[in-house]
Amino acid sequence: MSTVRADTLRFEEIALGDTLPELVLPLDRTLIVATAIASRDYQDVHHDPGLAVERGSPDIFMNILTTNGFVGRFVTDWAGPGARIESVSIRLGAPNYPGDTMTLTGRVTTAEVPPGRDDGRGVVEVAVRGANSRGDHVTGTVRLSVPRDGAGTS
């Protein structure tokens, strides 16, 4: 189970191949509806079971904005409050339906200080995967920066 870091992971503490603690998210109807509304996505397939079925889905399903938010949370829970997400690139697969569980996992695929970067931060790329009982709900990468030793947390 994922825990939220109180401090910020330093660049020097990260190695290629490091795995992130998994984040297990039980999915219920309230979570799916509430997060769709919170992200201002009023598409009926995210809150109306009857219309979702009419459109060919067995039930309502999670929207991409919610998935993107959980991916960001997953990575920043691991890296800590001083981490900055620089980019997110995800692809959706199997839908997240009420009653299922999505488990997010991740692995560090890049850790570098790009040439010319002088802000005291290193760049880390994490490959992420969120799977449910139907397969991969989301796959992709998150690129973030974290402070380097001897540098401020700016």
- pTM equals 0.92
Spell out the per-residue pLDDT of the chain, length 154, in tens.
Answer: 567 899 999 999 999 999 999 999 999 999 999 999 999 878 888 888 888 999 999 999 999 999 999 999 999 999 999 999 999 999 999 999 999 999 999 999 999 999 999 999 999 999 999 999 999 999 999 999 999 996 544 4
CA–CA separation, 62 vs 47, rounded Å? 9
Domains of the chain in sequence order = 11-147 (3.10.129.10)
Closest residue by Cα to residue 24 from 127, 84, 105, 92 = 105
Helix, strand, or coil (residue 40) = coil
